[in-house]
Amino acid sequence: MTYLPCLEKTDPEVRNLIIAEEKREWDKMRLIPSENYASKAVFEATGSVLTNIYSEGYPGKRYYEGQQIIDQVESLAIERAKKLFGMPHANVQPYSGSPANMAVYHAVLSHGDTIMGLALPHGGHLTHGWKVNFSGLTYHSSPYELDQETELLNYDKILKQAREVKPKMIIAGYTAYPRIIDFVKFREICDDVGALFHADTSHITGLIVGGVHPSPYPMADTGITTSHKTLRGPRGAMILCKEQYAEKVDKAIMPGLQGGPHNATTAAIAVALHEAAQPEFKTYAQQIVKNAKALAESLNGHGFRLVSGGTDNHLILFETQKSKGIGGREAAKALDKAGIVVNCNTVPFDPNPPFKPSGVRIGTPSVTSRGMKEPEMKKLGDWMNRAIIAASDDAALAKIAGEVKECCKDFPCPGIDPSRW
């Protein structure tokens, strides 16, 4: 039977692009640490009739009729989120991570309040107070930085800075930090200075659920997570918070910031939470970290300088400029030609600007979802080294891409079935 038969009839152009993307995801080793492979069950929920309805409001308090089913779907997602993270309140409606952070700030801060998040070039997120983002424009941002020598969070320095600037909120949780975050220390610092503790666990939520990274929940006052990174769900987000912030958070999302929730995504979030609660998800999370450590060891052996010397989580940040005399962007482009998908990234105290950074950021959630283990990580490190050394040799890169593709054949991607093409 033809794959995507309705699309073939009504819009073959889009059908062809979807199949081309399936092939790309199948043939390449995807190492962008914020990406993953969602399951077929997640796709079935996102591609369902739940797309058809509007439901402004919350279960039992909607503005339109016809909410008999969606109320049950959203309540299921909320209850699963509360149980999995041990937080008293969950809002599963944010469209993604940035709106989720925006809603939390809107709920608990006033314009001009001081916030402290990790500086973007050190691994923080745009919405944690970066100067060109709403968070840096609306609030007074006093970013903290990593320790220059260790490239780790320096909790004593963060405390000192917090005592000086007296923030209303401190944000912990990052997009390019390869080490364990001590959330207990953040709670203590927040208590010391009377700040709210906001956790953004988007990158590490799957590791938290899988028991391989400490959880900030229920210590944090507020928290957010996207649902599509290590959690392996649909593109969406959740807010988790203490009961005293629940009403304000819900109002900040709707009517403050959003209209109708994306109901099909809500159902898919419920599915992802159910999948993450299964025992095999723990094994998956453990393997993500084992794979990251094995890949770090391989890269280290090839002479790449790893930020902070290694990794404790799903992510590795390494320097290409100093290690191999090639910029992060050029290295990322060469790796893509070699069938290995990464993103260029600043390293802490990078002398180069974010558009021409000195390093590359990689992660193991996607390759681990395909069932790859330590032996494949060793091979991956070898291929990466060869590709970066041969960055301007298209024939050498094409040869590596062929070897990568051959290896990928043995590791099926969840959610993709090549027999359908």
Size of the site for ligand DSN (CB under 6 A): 4
Site for ligand DSN contains 175 (CB under 6 A)? yes
User: Which C-beta is closer to ligand DSN: that of 30 or that of 187?
Assistant: 30
Catalytic positions are 54, 56, 200, 226, 229, 235
Query: 114-153 burial string, b = 16+ CB within 10 Å, else e?
Result: bbbbbbbbbbbbbbbbbeebbbbebbebbbbbbeeeebbb
Site for ligand DSN contains 34 (CB under 6 A)? yes
Q: Rounded to 5 degrees, what are φ and ψ at 361? A: -110, 130
Site for ligand DSN contains 385 (CB under 6 A)? no
User: Which C-beta is closer to ligand DSN: that of 298 or that of 345?
Assistant: 345
Q: How far is the CB of 92 from ligand DSN (least distance, A)?
A: 18
Distance CA(345)–CA(407), nearest Å, equals 27
Residue of closest CB approach to ligand DSN: 34
Q: Which of residues 109-128 bind ligand DSN (CB under 6 A)?
A: 125
Q: Which of residues 68-107 bind ligand DSN (CB under 6 A)?
A: 97
User: Which C-beta is closer to ligand DSN: that of 57 or that of 363?
Assistant: 363
Q: How far is the CB of 354 from ligand DSN (least distance, A)?
A: 13
Q: How far is the CB of 226 from ligand DSN (least distance, A)?
A: 7
Q: How far is the CB of 224 from ligand DSN (least distance, A)?
A: 11
Q: What is the CA radius of gyration of the chain?
A: 22
User: Which C-beta is closer to ligand DSN: that of 224 or that of 400?
Assistant: 224
Q: Minimal CA–CA distance to 98: which of 199, 198, 252, 225?
A: 225
DSSP string, 72-125: HHHHHHHHHHHHHHT-SEEE---SSHHHHHHHHHHHH--TT-EEE-B-GGGT--
Q: 3-class SS at 417?
A: coil
Q: 3-class SS at 383?
A: helix
Q: How far is the CB of 269 from ligand DSN (least distance, A)?
A: 17
Q: Tokens 């009377």 — which residue?
A: 194
User: Which C-beta is closer to ligand DSN: that of 89 or that of 128?
Assistant: 128
Which positions touch ligand DSN (CB under 6 A)?
A: 34, 97, 125, 175
